[in-house]
Amino acid sequence: MIKQQATLSLELQAKMDFYQKQGYKVPTLDMIKTPEEIEKIKASGVINTAVLDHVEKHIKAGMTTQDIDDLVSSFTKEHQAICAPLNFEGYPKSVCTSVNHEVCHGIPSKLRKLKEGDIVNVDVSTIYNGYYSDASRMFIVGKTSKEREKLIEVTKECLALGLKQCKPYNFTGDIGHAIQSHAEKHGYSVVRELGGHGVGIEFHEDPFIYHFGKPKTGLLLVPGMVFTVEPMINAGGKDVVIDRYNGWTIYTKDGKDSAQVEHTVLITETGYEILTY
């Protein structure tokens, strides 16, 4: 999809100039969506959410992660949409399924059976009418340990606190700082190597959204920006390793659990709107 050129109000232009003159980084025009683009990304988000609801309804012990891939792929097709991960930079499946100490980009497999107590991140990304949306949820298979429940709870809180910082004239560093402070307060750590991203016209656009950082640093947020916030929170240390065979799956280095939740959000005039609810 070719990006339309956003027309900025005089007020927005003046504010961006004001911040830029003070040495702050401000978004470029390609990071600001037009109202028409936003409507189309919203429509994509509606389907993306329906896919996750569909997974939520069916996920259970004994299923394989390939079964989740099948659910996502068939449901998405039935809704005239496309699974964004499939063939993205050579990714071989339609969804990412990351279990326990897998941080992200777990590749569905018919050899990977879900068992009681597993915690699974299902990361769904949809192309509809040419526009992208991206969100992920954590699922608990049956009942799990108190420790795993708490990791998931705190990860959801991290996302909520990060989103709370999503408003005009805050900075990307405010989002990262809110997430990092909350995770570390609970003795957890934040994965550094991966982050949120602009989304909508392409799968991964600028800006990169760090899930750690300092207030009033990074890039200025302005109305019309659409990006994901998707903190990866580790029960143990922050370090991760990549699967040397498939080149995709990220694991915690210490083998401890990791959790992630993700939404696509729009910066509005007054705050944010989640496009993947």
Whichever of 16 and 265 has its CB closer to Co ion, that residue is 265
Min dist CB 214 to ligand MF3, Å, is 24
Q: What residues contact 151, with CB distance under 8 A and at least 6 apart? A: 119, 188, 233, 235, 257, 258, 259
66: number of Cβ within 10 Å: 17
Which residues are CB-contacts of 223 (< 8 A; sequence separation ≥ 6)? 12, 32, 168, 267, 268, 269
Partner that binds at residue 171, options Co ion, ligand MF3, none, CB closer than 5 to 8 Å by kind:
none
Task: Tell how far CA 206 is from the center of its chain.
Answer: 14
Q: How many residues bind Co ion (CB under 5 A)?
A: 2
Please tell me whether residue 102 binds Co ion under the rule CB under 5 A. no
Distance between CA atoms of 197 and 182, rounded to whole angstroms? 21
By CB under 5 A, is residue 172 in contact with Co ion?
no
Residue nearest to ligand MF3 (CB): 85
Burial of 273 (0-12, 13-18, 19+ CB in 10 A): middle
* DSSP class of 9: P
Specify the residue, 96 or 240, whose C-beta has the smaller distance to ligand MF3.
Answer: 96
Rounded Cα distance, 214 and 256, in Å:
26
Q: Is 125 left (phi over 0), alpha (psi -120 to 50) or beta?
A: beta
Question: For residues 211-240, which are near Co ion according to CB under 5 A?
Answer: 228
CB of 218 to ligand MF3, least distance (A): 18
Q: Which residues of 198-229 are buried (b: 16+ CB within 10 A; e: fewer)?
A: bbbbebbbebebbbbbeeeebbbbbbbbbbbb
Q: How far is the CB of 22 from ligand MF3 (least distance, A)?
A: 32
For ligand MF3, give the closer residue by CB, 121 or 168: 121
Please report how close the Cβ of residue 229 comes to Co ion at its closest, in angstroms: 9
Question: How many of the other CB atoms lie within 10 Å of CB of 2?
Answer: 5
Give the interface with ligand MF3 as residue ranges (CB under 6 A). 85, 88-89, 91, 96, 105, 123, 125, 134, 228, 230, 262
**Residue 67 site contact among Co ion, ligand MF3, none (CB < 5 to 8 Å, cut-off depends on kind):** none
Tell the smallest beta-carbon distance from residue 262 to Co ion (Å).
6
Say which entry of ligand MF3, Co ion, none residue 91 contacts (CB below 5 to 8 A, set by partner kind). ligand MF3
Taking the complex as a whole, the smallest distance from the CB of residue 21 to ligand MF3 amounts, in Å, to 33
Could you tell which of ligand MF3, Co ion, none binds residue 105, using a CB distance below 5 to 8 A set by kind?
A: ligand MF3
Nearest-approach distance from CB 211 to ligand MF3, in angstroms: 12
Cβ-based nearer residue to Co ion, 102 or 134: 134
Q: Which residue's entry shows tokens 């903190």?
A: 231
Q: Work out whether 134 is an interface residue with Co ion (CB under 5 A).
A: yes
**Residues in contact with Co ion by the rule CB under 5 A:** 134, 228
